[in-house]
Structure 1
Amino acid sequence: MAETWTLRAATQGDGLFLGDMVVEAANWRAGAARPRHEILTHPDHRRYLAGWMRPGDAGVVATVADEPVGAAWYRMLPRTDPGFGYVGTGVPELIIGVRPLWRAHGVGRALLRRLCDQARAEGRARICLSVERGNFAQVFYRSEGFAVTQSGFGRDTMVRSLR
């Protein structure tokens, strides 16, 4: 690819694009795409977007020629409405998505590293995520220091120490 990407902080105005990235993350399996509206209206996915940019939310967006191509963000989800990767109060849960054309070009790794740096700078000790078994991203997360801490039905919760 001739064009290069740049990173910027996510803003409140990025909510719609973050929705696109939730759809990308949920539809990682080739040939098994679920409709956008089905994903975005399901409570399991809606919690990662509802009221975007509330206190505790942070994110990074990758752009090419000012067009977003990927994003990584985290939310502080409450025990009463935990995400797939919830491990405890005060541990932000990471969500990441990259447009297919930009996968395997270092975009996801750069997004993940920048977001982990931000969480560390905010004094966070750990960050967590959930990944479905069979998703190639699990190898990527392991290479970035994440380890499986809980196994659920078809998915694993992974945590990385930020210290």
Structure 2
Amino acid sequence: MSPFQIRPAVSEDARFLADMLIEASNWNPVRVRPRVTVLEDPTVSRYISGWMRPGDFGSIAVDAHGVAVGACWGRLFPANEPGYGFVAPGVPELTLGVNSQWRAQGVGRSLLQAVARQAGASGHSRLSLSVERANFAQRLYISEGYVTVDSGENSDTMVRSVH
């Protein structure tokens, strides 16, 4: 039996998604920003603001006791207010966060796969995300079929087709 299970995200998961947005933002232990600093940044908080709005979808990983340990979710952004990994209107941009003690145990991969299934079931043909090049998660994204389509100074925008 797996030490964790995956369930769909619901509107009541908003606070946990904020926690996972903090985890995602603070992936580098040398450059940790306080929760309030991350959530007050409108370029970051837009990934959870008003969760769950039409078109939002996601998955939550829970441990054997039902405690949430990770999340991955997709959100659409308009061209005039793009996210970091924006590629086109109608292409959901993903955010992935996993509690540090649960990393490298398959949680992130399971969440990415669940969200890809959700996206396909909702009629989306592609998913996008942004990742800093030094982030070890980039290897996970590549192994899940994401390819770099644009590069900034320190980060890459990656896209995956959904079948």
TM-score, normalized by length of structure 2?
0.96
User: Structure 1 stretches (4+) deviating beyond 3 angstroms?
Assistant: none
**Counterpart of 2:153?**
153
**Counterpart of 1:60?**
59
Distance 2:50 2:25 in 1: 20
**Counterpart of 1:135?**
135
**Counterpart of 1:87?**
87
Read off the aligned partner of 2:45 and give its amino acid letter.
R
Report the Cα offset of residue 6 of structure 1: 0.8
What's the CA shift string for 1:123-142, capped at 9, x where partnerless? 11100000011111111100
Distance 2:17 2:122 in 1: 22
Unaligned runs of at least 5 residues, structure 1: none
Matched, 1:121 2:121: yes
Unaligned runs of at least 5 residues, structure 2: none
Distance 2:142 2:37 in 1: 30
Distance 2:122 2:15 in 1: 25
Distance 2:112 2:33 in 1: 25
What is the DSSP-based 3-state SS (H/G/I as helix, E as strand, rest coil) of the residue aligned with 1:157? Answer: strand
Read off the aligned partner of 2:28 and give its amino acid letter.
R
Distance 1:29 1:56 in 2: 30
Distance 1:57 1:25 in 2: 18
**Counterpart of 1:14?**
13
What is the DSSP-based 3-state SS (H/G/I as helix, E as strand, rest coil) of the residue aligned with 1:48? Answer: coil
Report the Cα offset of residue 153 of structure 1: 2.5
Query: Between Structure 1 and Structure 2, how many residues are aligned?
Result: 162
